[in-house]
Amino acid sequence: MKKSLAALTAFLTLGLALSTFAQTSNNMTSKHSLAGPYAGFGLGIGGIESDLGIFDVIFNKAGRIYGGYLWQQSPNILYGFEGGYNAYGDIIDSWTDYSNPNAPVTTNWTTSGYSADLLGVLKYHFNFGLDLFGKAGVAYTSETIKKNAGGPEMKNEIYHSGTFNSYLPEISLGVGYDFKNNISTNFTYAHIFGNRAERTYNSNPSKSDEVSLFLVNVEYHFA
């Protein structure tokens, strides 16, 4: 809940800033039609959401490449579809068992993965260049989890490893701005709904985790 409120606050703040910028920069407002094919890429951060308590989201670098097509429903409303590929760096988190104060055991989890998605797109385009949009669809996720532990009688050896492939629901929200020369940029929050896997000394996850992505994207519209 706290993360959702933080994300909503960030979107509202960014939207207000972009709106103010757009209203004072009308000479740079896009004059091209957004309908038609487009392609883009994005960079930012991504994180799994596992059951580690308050610190349950661990971020690392992330990226996305994508393409899609938009149709014009009205001068301000567009809809279409988009397909993309998401990559996120290895994520390492730890859990320490202090049940024996004289011999604590720290378990390290290394998670790596990627996802490919197909999303429906709905976009509202303001006359001064600002865009608000939402996307929803399905993501194919592949995730590899490796578990190792270190203690008085252990040597940090990997003793559990698994790769999980799943089809999971995905949604994203974003705000952007359209410039001249068919170029636009946007900020997107995307969430893939998976399993909130427990990370403890005794657990062995067997399902794909939830994933959150915060990306700054650049698009080119072939209109």
Higher pLDDT, 41 or 113: 41
pLDDT at 29 over 50: no
CB burial of residue 156 (10 Å; 0-12, 13-18, 19+): exposed
Rounded distance, CA 83 to CA 174, Å? 16
- Indicate the pTM of the whole model: 0.74
What's the CATH code of the domain at 160?
2.40.160.20
Q: Do residues 102 and 137 touch, judged by C-beta distance below 8 A?
A: no
Instruction: Please state the domain count of the chain.
Output: 1
- Give the tens place of pLDDT for each residue, 154-175: 455 555 667 888 899 999 999 9
- Give the tens place of pLDDT for each residue, 208-218: 778 889 999 99
Rounded distance, CA 88 to CA 64, Å? 9
Percent of the chain with pLDDT over 90: 41
Give the C-alpha distances (Å, rounded to integers) separating 123 from 35, 58, 103, 130. 11, 30, 56, 10
Which domain does 13 fall in, by range?
Answer: 2-221
Give the C-alpha distances (Å, rounded to integers) separating 43 from 12, 63, 88, 168. 21, 4, 10, 22
Mention every residue, 6+ apart, whose C-beta is less than 8 A from residue 145.
Answer: 109, 110, 111, 160, 161, 162, 163, 164, 197, 205
The average pLDDT across 4-28 equals 48
pLDDT of residue 202: 55
Rounded distance, CA 167 to CA 192, Å? 10
